[in-house]
Structure 1
């Protein structure tokens, strides 16, 4: 395939292959585990990114006159980023459930009913109706909508001849959304440290959050900076020439954004094998404890 933007097209093609491999791997795990697991979210991340890379390839092949493909690429990228942040939070909650049998950051419906019944103070009532998981979703979902809206309102604008008011509105919406994304990323990382060090929970989910923290943080920072720094801005025609995209623009996009997400996704999905080992070990410990109690009961009867 001949690309009008060869650098961008080659990079998009390489990552399309990588994300197809990732998605196939995630699909096999979901097939084994069923859909009611954290790995379904990680599979969705792969699907979003594969769709995004297809759009990136189409944009590189057709050129800036067909920048609708660029908008679609940015929308799918935002959805992938959103899924990773959400997965980070739920991995922490899953670690609490695996280690203690429950999670205060994501209480079950039964726990919430009990919390509502026993709530005495205003804070207890608020926490019963709006636990951390609910607040997290209430902030993250609108942020995602802001980013998508900020990108889609650029549709219909002529390249190089944008309406200043539309550009300002797009930048404002995308900035608000990306700042919330970055803030929620920091909250997830901070929560992982709290659960690990303060609550003393040791689980592979927390270790995976620690490992991805620099990568997903860089991705969040890039999301904000790319709106205002010309060399990183997808909608700035300065980054597009008759010979294709500037090499530095491609490097910024695929190193600070796509690569960061890919590494994060790979670490999270590989956590499946460590999680399986942890679950088996936990079951063995419970079995040993139960056997010990049974032995003591028999000894007392004798």
Structure 2
């Protein structure tokens, strides 16, 4: 087993703990499978798959690069689902505290056609499409130029293209993380109890590790010794110590910390003080709907 085996095993255990936690919440029916916690279950499952691939690469050796490719693909999916998780938690906060969300319309009481007609007026539609596109850019960019030597001039263009794709994809993720922070700030006025304030504070706190994770994603493209697509990042024991430390400290640890923060909200009840916050947001949502109806009637 090469040097990457031990941290891969450590985080396999840590993610198994989080996966077991959220699974117990779901299986014991403390929370619904249609709740925000299902998104955490999906994330932890993907990260477990990534860590298993990391262990496979450590055991099989550097010549079996398919294990490493699978590790980074699952890792990219993990970051994608984690940003998605954070937004799901904020949307749930708005729905539970106020009865409505200006990020995503509620499906209840609407036909699918009505629901999709409303979607373009809410940020969630653009969030989903841009995040899916960013995820695709990161995966394609990660695979482009894999194990390519910088001294090979015929592959220089492919390497450069891969770096650009990864940078653009990661920048889109970071942009939405900043939007998440702004949305949390805007939602603060709806918090009427200490528990609601704590819940929102935890969601806002996830912005920090998510941004660190994004910065690492860009640095891993720009610093040759950290770029796992290049042979300069490897020796006979797999990833070199610097690249390995950066991956687990700035990447995996940040994701695990974010996941832990989100799961800690399971101890917080949002059941009190709904009326005042509800009136504030319902007034805004109803005003938006009335404006849309007026526009349609004029048309």
Q: What TM-score do you get using the length of structure 1 for normalisation?
A: 0.79
Which residue of structure 1 lines up, in the alignment, with residue 255 of structure 2? Answer: 261
Q: 1:143 aligns with which of 134, 147, 150?
A: 134
How far 1:128 moved relative to its partner?
5.7
* SS of residue paired to 1:64: coil
Question: Structure 1 residues 38, 151: closer, same or farther in 2, change over 3 A?
Answer: same
Which residue of structure 1 lines up, in the alignment, with residue 205 of structure 2? Answer: 211
For 1:176 and 1:93, the matched residues in 2 are separated by 26
Residue 95 of structure 1 contacts residue 206 of structure 1 at CA under 8 Å; is this kept in 2?
yes
How far 1:215 moved relative to its partner?
1.1
How many residue pairs end up in the alignment?
265
For 2:179 and 2:244, the matched residues in 1 are separated by 30
Higher RCO (CA 8 Å, separation ≥ 6 residues): 2
| Structure 1 unaligned residues grouped into runs of 5+ | 118-125, 284-302
**Which entry has the higher C-alpha Rg, 1 or 2?**
1
Residue 91 of structure 1 contacts residue 206 of structure 1 at CA under 8 Å; is this kept in 2?
no
Confirm whether residue 179 of structure 1 aligns to residue 177 of structure 2. no
For 2:256 and 2:99, the matched residues in 1 are separated by 31
Q: 1:13 aligns with which of 9, 12, 15?
A: 9
How far 1:258 moved relative to its partner?
0.4
How far 1:172 moved relative to its partner?
2.1
How far 1:43 moved relative to its partner?
0.6
Which residue of structure 1 lines up, in the alignment, with residue 95 of structure 2? Answer: 97
Which residue of structure 2 lines up, in the alignment, with residue 133 of structure 1? Answer: 124
Which residue of structure 1 lines up, in the alignment, with residue 18 of structure 2? Answer: 22
How far 1:62 moved relative to its partner?
2.2
For 1:213 and 1:83, the matched residues in 2 are separated by 14
* SS of residue paired to 2:94: helix
For 1:61 and 1:247, the matched residues in 2 are separated by 17
For 1:63 and 1:159, the matched residues in 2 are separated by 19
Alignment of 1:100-111 (within 5 A): 100-109=98-107
For 1:282 and 1:87, the matched residues in 2 are separated by 25
Question: Structure 1 residues 195, 111: closer, same or farther in 2, change over 3 A?
Answer: farther
Residue 73 of structure 2 contacts residue 139 of structure 2 at CA under 8 Å; is this kept in 1?
yes
Q: 2:220 aligns with which of 217, 226, 235?
A: 226
Q: 1:41 aligns with which of 5, 16, 39?
A: 39
Residue 64 of structure 1 contacts residue 159 of structure 1 at CA under 8 Å; is this kept in 2?
no
Q: What TM-score do you get using the length of structure 2 for normalisation?
A: 0.80
How far 1:238 moved relative to its partner?
2.2
For 1:104 and 1:46, the matched residues in 2 are separated by 28
